[in-house]
Amino acid sequence: MQPLVDCAANVRVRSVDVISVYIDMQPIPFNRGYYSIDLTFFFDVSLDLYGGATIGSEHVNGISIFNKKVILYGSEGNVKMFSSESGRDEADLQGNKVLPKATVQVAQPVALSAKICDHCSCGYEPCCVIPECIANRYGGEFETMPQKNTVYVTIGLFTIVQIVRNVQMLIPAFDFCIPDKECVTSSDNPCELFRKIDFPTDEFFPPKAGDGGCGCGK
């Protein structure tokens, strides 16, 4: 698709989808309990190229890559965990310290804009090598042919990055509860059942901006 990009005079971004997010988490030595999380986002970008050799537009798909680093508190744990589910041959692989797990939730990205620039004239360089499993979605390795133009996209992204750790919690438990009463059957008349339902006023009058509250019940 590179010759189409080189000949294009304008570009429009159609949509953006998240292919995958690679997560690397490392403890921070000088700040115990804190972890550095490096996120690499891979996006599938759908584009329309205009002004090429043919009349009209050409539809192409490409990959956009974005890196983000966050530092979060994940507490400390000095215990080791062993499990009966692992075989005897895997015993030497057990016994590592219990570390937290980093997770990221990504909402559907928003395609904001796209532009064509001379290759590397915008000050951007590829931030990582595209993994083989992602490159296979586009037919294998990307060509290393000379590039005249490069498409740069602006993407709106909403994410939630968390560190999750298993902890011990004390929850009150009760014995089995055996029912000693029979259920009272209600009327089989559907009209009587319908009359007991409150009228859904909120469905007909959606809340205005600012009426949604803070989500804490106040």
The per-residue pLDDT for 49 is: 86
Mean pLDDT of 188-206: 75
**Between 91 and 174, residue with greater pLDDT:** 174
**Within 13 Å of residue 99, how many CA atoms lie on the same side as its CB?**
15
Asked if residue 153 lies in contact with residue 124, where contact means CB atoms within 8 angstroms, the answer is no
Task: State residue 53's pLDDT score.
Answer: 59
Task: List strand residue ranges (DSSP E) for the chain, in order.
Answer: 10-27, 34-50, 57-73, 101-106, 110-118, 149-156, 159-164
Span 43-75, pLDDT tens digits? 999 988 887 655 677 888 888 899 999 999 888
Let me know: does 51 contact 116? Beta carbons within 8 Å.
no
- Quick one: pLDDT band at residue 39, thresholds 50, 70, 90? very high
CA atoms within 13 A on the CB side of 81: 10
Q: Using one digit for the tens of pLDDT, what is the confidence trace for 90-119?
A: 555 555 567 788 999 998 988 888 888 877
Show the tokens assigned to 210: 């600012």
CA atoms within 13 A on the CB side of 98: 13
Q: How far apart are CA 44 and CA 61, in angstroms?
A: 7
For residue 80, report the phi and psi dihedrals to the nearest 5 degrees: -115, 145
pLDDT at 185 over 80: no
Instruction: Provide the terminal-to-terminal Cα distance of the chain, rounded to the nearest Å.
Output: 55
Question: Do strands 34-50 and 10-27 pair parallel, antiparallel, or not at all (unpaired)?
Answer: antiparallel
Task: Report how far residue 20's alpha carbon sits from residue 29's, in angstroms, rounded to the nearest whole number.
Answer: 29
The residues with which 49 forms a beta bridge, in sequence order, are 11, 58
Q: Residue 136 gets which letter from DSSP?
A: G
Residue with tokens 């075989």: 87
82: tokens are 């062993």
Bin 131: left if φ > 0, else alpha if -120 < ψ < 50, else beta. beta
Supply the pLDDT for residue 173: 83
Residue 126: pLDDT band with limits 50, 70, 90:
low
Tell me which residue of 81, 52, 65, 56 sits closest to 21, measured CA to CA.
65
Residue 213 has pLDDT above 60, yes or no: no
